Homo-oligomer: A and B are copies of this chain.
């Protein structure tokens, strides 16, 4: 297994201005792996409780190349659950509830079959846990971490230790602002580089993403979608990361040019995710559809 993601598998409740859904198959590792698996094999390290719906497992097993050898199920525990509501502005949402459940227990262990993994994505969790995962991959070539405002506030020291050990950080613009005290996305990214990683990707939701790297900067708009196509933005950021890492693992690269192209794949995979609740649209991707959307994106975002 060349690419592995550590993160959450969860049960989501989502309210959008137009519809609501309960019991949606969610979690950062689910969205990441579903997107990445569209480009190549990916292994999941996560833990669920005894209440995890069989249908959710069937959904994940339906993605060819998505490996669940690293998924631990603990019968006496409860699966992570999250509920959120999107405002008219698809870029802003409020969390209605978070039931951490099994996430407050010891983290899942990395199975032996994953130990050779070279491309590692450390989904958002306590940075000390992310560090623990990282050290279980002796052959790691490219490690990228996500984080969130909670750890920026409550585990700053551990987060800084983590940043010194990873190759890249993928972070959204509001978290980057909180972390650096700056606002401009380029300046934020530049500042995060000082903390240790070799590159930073700042995600701006519907406004695209920016890559800050010692060799240069790359900027991309989001894929241009109209409001009616945006059914549910949940997981778009994790799908971006999945497309990004999936491309790098497939190409076995981590140089600036590859990172730039990986951002475009991330953007395209994210554009599928938000067209449905949960993993439905990622599941329905047809052969050739990613390439077609990449070409469409290349045409729409052509510069001069």
**Which residues of A are at the interface with B, using a C-beta cutoff of 8 A?**
88-90, 182-187, 190, 204, 206-208, 210, 216-228, 230, 260-261, 264-265, 294, 297-304
Q: Could you say which residues of chain B place their CB within 8 Å of the CB of A187?
A: 226-228
Known contacts A217-B224, A264-B304, A301-B218; decide if A208 and B206 are in contact (CB<8 Å). no
The smallest beta-carbon distance between A111 and chain B, in angstroms, is 33
Q: How far is the CB of A176 from chain B (nearest CB, A)?
A: 13
Contact present for A227 and B264 (CB under 8 Å):
no
When all copies of this chain in the complex are counted, the total is: 2
Question: Besides the contacts A90-B184, A187-B227, A264-B303, what 13 more A-B pairs have beta carbons closer than 8 Å?
Answer: A90-B183, A182-B227, A184-B225, A185-B206, A187-B226, A210-B221, A210-B224, A217-B300, A218-B301, A218-B302, A297-B304, A298-B303, A301-B301
In the assembled complex, how far is the CB of residue A80 from the closest CB belonging to chain B, in whole angstroms? 30
Quote the shortest CB–CB distance from A264 to chain B (angstroms): 4
Q: Could you tell me the distance between the alpha carbons of A208 and B220 in the complex, rounded to whole angstroms?
A: 10
Contact A224 B186 (CB under 8 A): yes
Most buried by B among A207, A216, A226, A260: A226
Q: Is the CB of B304 within 8 A of A89?
A: no
Cβ-defined contact, B300 with A304, below 8 A: no
Q: For A183, give its contact among B89, B184, B186, B299 (CB under 8 Å).
A: B89
